[in-house]
Structure 1
Amino acid sequence: MVMKEAKAEAKLGVEIETIWKALAKDLRFIIPQLMPDTVEKIELLHGDGGVGSILLFHLVHKEEAMRSQKERIVEVDETKHELVIQVLEGNVLKRGFSSFKTTFKLSPLSEKESLVDIKVAYETEKDGEGEQARMDAIATAPPLYFLQLLENFLPTSNT
């Protein structure tokens, strides 16, 4: 299996420190509020919420086997505004991925706007040119959707 990377970016009308606090500090509290139809709650299984912490996502799903996902916080870099989260077990690994790690890198565009670069490093069980384009799209859709919800949830600088 070969490690592949999918990249995407999102421009948010929220200042960088507000987004950073939401991602790096309050993520486990915000996600169930943003996605109540998908995530019931997030339990901290190990750690203090920083690097090495393991989060258990309790998901809303009909199938018992699809009701949880375990993720580890791999990196939190305050100076670079970079957060890396790796899926250890769960739904995404049942959809053709054998490993899945997402990096969020924040950059200020202005006082009221931020750019979030998303990089998803993953391995798949199948290979092929057409397959990679499909898996890239599957890999980047959830973080892009999450950031869209987050932008609508967070207070904007111009309120």
Structure 2
Amino acid sequence: MFGRLYEEIEIKVAANEAWKIFGALELGHLAFQQLSDIIHKMEVLEGDGGAGTVIKLSLPGNTYCKEIFKVVDHKKRMKIAELIEGGFLDMGFTFYQVQIEVIENAKDENSCTVKFTIEYEVKEDAAANASLVSIRPYVTMMNVGVDYLAKKKNK
């Protein structure tokens, strides 16, 4: 069974500025600092934030997941992270990835749209677990990034 969820939000920051947060490890660090109920710890196991970077997230209930940044495209302002261990993979999922896009607003260079997309595939015998997939934690992370950018802009 295949599924896709997405959410987007328009923010009053230039796309290049937003990409500095959403396209880098910075978003994970901000989420760890401000959302300790969702992310207990974030460790960079390999890499520097570019393609091939592997991170480990410690989550509630003594669970964890590891993900690899498959794509970090600074021109397109797109990052794709794929789950490689733990998390949903321990619940019958065979594929789980998150794509982040920062889309320039053609009518206003001082605003952009940030879009998070989750794509997943789950084994038929675990299809009920698909109901556990939620875009809400990513919306919360988006808002952390947006708040950070707003505070930075108003300094």
Alpha-carbon distance, 1:144 to partner: 1.9
Name the structure 2 match of 1:7: 6
Gaps of 5+ in 2: none
- Report SS of the residue matched to 1:154: helix
Counterpart position of 2:22: 23
When residues 36 and 52 of structure 1 are mapped into structure 2, their CA distance, relative to the original with a 3 A threshold, is same
Q: CA deviation at 1:157?
A: 7.5
**Superimposed CA distance per residue, residues 48-96 of structure 1 (whole angstroms, 9 cap, x where no aligned partner):** 221011001123x2x33x2x21111010111110010111123333455
Between the aligned partners of 2:103 and 2:111, the Cα distance in structure 1 is 9
Shift in Å, 1:154: 2.2
CA distance 1:18–1:36, shift in 2 (3 Å): farther
Cα 1:139–1:38, aligned 2, differ >3 Å: closer, same or farther?
closer
Partner amino acid for 1:37?
D
Residues 1:46 and 1:31: Cα distance change in structure 2 (over 3 Å): same
Which of 72-81 and 142-151 deviates more? 142-151
- How far apart in 2 are the matches of 1:126 and 1:85? 24
Question: Match of 1:71?
Answer: 67
Q: Percent identity?
A: 22
2:139 aligned residue (144, 149, 154): 144
Q: Secondary structure at the match of 2:81?
A: strand
Give the aligned CA root-mean-square deviation in angstroms. 2.8
TM-score normalised according to structure 1 size:
0.77
Aligned pair partner of 1:86 in 82, 89, 111: 82
**2:40 is aligned with 1:40:** yes
Give the TM-score, by structure 2 length. Answer: 0.79
Instruction: Indicate yes or no: 2:120 matched with 1:117.
Output: no
| Separation in 2, partners of 1:46, 1:13 | 33
Relative to structure 1, the CA distance from residue 5 to residue 42 in structure 2 (aligned partners, 3 Å threshold; closer, same or farther) is: same
- Of 88-97 and 116-125, more deviation after overlay is shown by 88-97
Q: Which runs of 5+ in 1 are unaligned?
A: none
How far residue 30 of structure 1 moved from its aligned partner, in angstroms, is 2.0
